[in-house]
Amino acid sequence: MSETSTTTRSAELYELAAHHLAGGVGSGTRSPRSGWLPVPVFAQSGAGPILTDVDGNEYIDYVMGQGPLILGHRPPAVTDAVVDVLRERGSLFSLAHDLEAQAARAVCERMPGVDLVRFGSSGTECVQYALRFARAFTGRELIVRVEGHYHGWSDTIHWSAHPSRETWGPPDHPAVTPESTGMAPGAGDSLIVLRWNDVDGLEAAFADYGERIAAIITEPILGNCGAIMPAPGYLERMRSIASDAGALLIFDEVLTGFRIGSGGVQGLTGVTPDLTVVAKALGAGYPVAAVGGSEAVMSLPADGRTMHGGTYNSNVLVCAAVVAACAETGRPGFYETLNARGERLAEGLVAAARAAGLDACWSGVGAMFQLWFSPAPPGDYREAHAIAARSPFFALHAYLRAHGVLIQPPQEGLFLTSAAHTDEHIDQTLAVAADAMEAVAAAVDRGDVGARGGLR
């Protein structure tokens, strides 16, 4: 682990990249705008929980590819399965093959709400299919979505994901706010935006528009705004309100599926959605996503009434990755160990912060959590936004990055752990954190608080 990191080579590569790569990075989340200051980390390689950058700095990595790397970097079982298939069979046929059904079975066996599944290459894409299937199944148009949740970048849903204070509207009637320029102007018209954990808002929306609502879509643990847990009974109420109105419930488990427990949030809570989207940890680092649900709904793509396609869908490489990754994550005790280690890290960070005189708490589960410099975690996006606005979180990120621990810079990000993080890595991280919290306390004393860029 590096003592203090240098960024010389990253800076050079960043400047060079910008000649041809728009903004010098491949995604907004990797840019200085998202808090990667002074320059983005240019990765060289990863092994287990360790990321090495082009300057030779080694980090204990809690970015974990933004979630997919549930087994760490280059897990041998998955790497071998993918390389073997590539050498012996090829990368892509865009024809039927045996590994598709094996990968599909792995998803259906694990996710309680999924009887049948289809694959795609990204979470964004499979969310689109979920919305389409819901509209086709119900013959209705409106979608209820929740402020602060991220469901991908498409025109149909990328509204009110991370709105500004100026645009978000009244708390009992949040505005439908575009998250990008260039989106189809009418695309937000079929959305109703609510606040997370707001049962009254849900009831009011269904009282007003119930017969026109095709679906509620939600991240069942809010991972794109820290890790905000559903209040007791909230998901259950969501389920019953949707069912009573003949609307579908869609769980976007892109982050939580195959990460927080064997059966995602639906397995943890017993609340079964009609449609589920999974991605990220499903493929342990390979670009694969899936949309699945009840037989009744999934008969739509099955018999071709509702279109689902894609050249790269369930190609042999990603299917080999899914089968190999699920064999690993399906081992007895896998999630218990993962979550226990993550929880120990979260508790240790809170203790270190408090020892330095800071208010601190954490939210989420061990595999996916956030640390808050506040007495209590937020209950929704607006509360998270208020905490972030006066949070010294960036000082924590900067100190850790300079001392061999990598976390996402925004307060609304996450600590993401993997099975490759051992107790020793947790101990090493906590040793760095003890000093980091002194630096954070000094930042607070200087008034050096507030966000340095959002999630994207």
Tokens coding 287:
């670009």
Active-site annotation holder among 55, 252, 274, 380: 252
Does position 152 interact with ligand PMP (CB under 6 A)? The reply is yes
Does the annotation mark 280 as catalytic?
A: yes
How far is residue 274's CA from residue 261's CA, in Å, rounded to a whole number?
19
- Single out the residue of 81, 107, 127, 353 in contact with ligand PMP (rule: CB under 6 A): 127
CA atoms in the 13 A half-sphere facing the CB of 99: 23
Closest contact distance (angstroms) between CB of 410 and ligand PMP is 13
Q: Indicate the pairing of strand 116-120 with strand 50-53.
A: unpaired
Among 124, 266, 276, 418, binds ligand PMP (CB under 6 A): 124
Nearer to ligand PMP, 123 or 377 (CB): 123
Q: Is 150 or 206 the residue whose CB approaches ligand PMP more closely?
A: 150
Burial class (CB in 10 A: 0-12, 13-18, 19+), 169: middle
219 binds ligand PMP (CB under 6 A): yes
| Strands of 58-61's sheet in order across | 43-47, 50-53, 58-61, 405-406
Least Cβ distance, residue 295 to ligand PMP (angstroms): 24
Q: Per-residue string for binding with ligand PMP, 27-66, x by CB under 6 A?
A: ---------------------------------------x
- What is the smallest separation between the CB atom of 222 and ligand PMP, expressed in angstroms? 9
- Nearest-approach distance from CB 273 to ligand PMP, in angstroms: 13
CA distance 18 to 107: 39
Pick the catalytic residue from 14, 59, 129, 150. Answer: 150
Question: Shortest distance, CB of residue 454 to ligand PMP, whole angstroms?
Answer: 13
Nearest-10 crossing angle of helices 295-302, 123-138:
100
Distance CA 35, CA 31 (A): 7
Min separation Cβ 154 and ligand PMP, Å: 9
**Residue 111 DSSP symbol:** -
Q: Which of 39/157 has CB closer to ligand PMP?
A: 157
According to CB under 6 A, which one of 30, 132, 145, 151 is a site residue for ligand PMP?
Answer: 151
CA quadruple 261, 264, 269, 270: dihedral sign = negative
Q: In this complex, which beta carbon is closest to ligand PMP, that of residue 127 or of residue 426?
A: 127
Binders of ligand PMP among residues 292 to 331 (CB under 6 A) are none
Residues sharing a CB contact under 8 Å with residue 264, sequence separation 6 or more, in sequence order: 110, 111, 220, 251, 253, 256, 257, 258, 276, 278
Distance CA 230, CA 179 (A): 24
Q: Which position among 14, 61, 234, 280 bears the catalytic label?
A: 280
SS3 162: coil
- Least distance in angstroms from the C-beta of 153 to ligand PMP: 7
Between the two ends of the chain, the Cα-to-Cα distance in Å is: 28
Helix axes 199-209, 234-245, angle to 10 degrees: 10
HSE toward the beta carbon, residue 191, CA cutoff 13 A: 24
150 is catalytic: yes
Nearest residue by C-beta to ligand PMP? 123
* Residue 196 tokens, joined: 């997370």
What amino acid occupies position 89? R
Which 233-292 positions form the footprint of ligand PMP (CB under 6 A)? 252, 254-255, 279, 289
Number of residues binding to ligand PMP, judged by CB under 6 A: 16
Nearer to ligand PMP, 222 or 247 (CB): 222
CB of 120 to ligand PMP, least distance (A): 9
Nearer to ligand PMP, 151 or 452 (CB): 151
Window 62-101: residues binding ligand PMP (CB under 6 A): 66
- Binding window for ligand PMP (CB under 6 A); candidates: 89-97, 121-129, 316-324, 370-378: 121-129
Residue 176 or 278: the one with the smaller Cβ distance to ligand PMP is: 278
Closest contact distance (angstroms) between CB of 252 and ligand PMP is 5
Does residue 122 interact with ligand PMP by CB under 6 A? yes
Handedness of CA 183, 451, 66, 174 (dihedral sign): negative
- Chain positions 131 to 150 lying near ligand PMP, rule: CB under 6 A, are 150
Q: Which is nearer to ligand PMP, 213 or 289 (CB)?
A: 289
Pick the closest to residue 55 from 429, 404, 400, 399 (CA basis): 404
Q: Which is nearer to ligand PMP, 238 or 279 (CB)?
A: 279
Amino acid letter, 223: G
CA–CA separation, 94 vs 37, rounded Å?
41
The question of whether 252 is a catalytic residue gets the answer: yes
Cβ proximity of 64 and 417 under 8 Å = yes
Catalytic residue IDs: 150, 252, 280
Question: Which spans of this chain sit near ligand PMP (rule: CB under 6 A)?
Answer: 66, 122-124, 127, 150-152, 219, 223-224, 252, 254-255, 279, 289
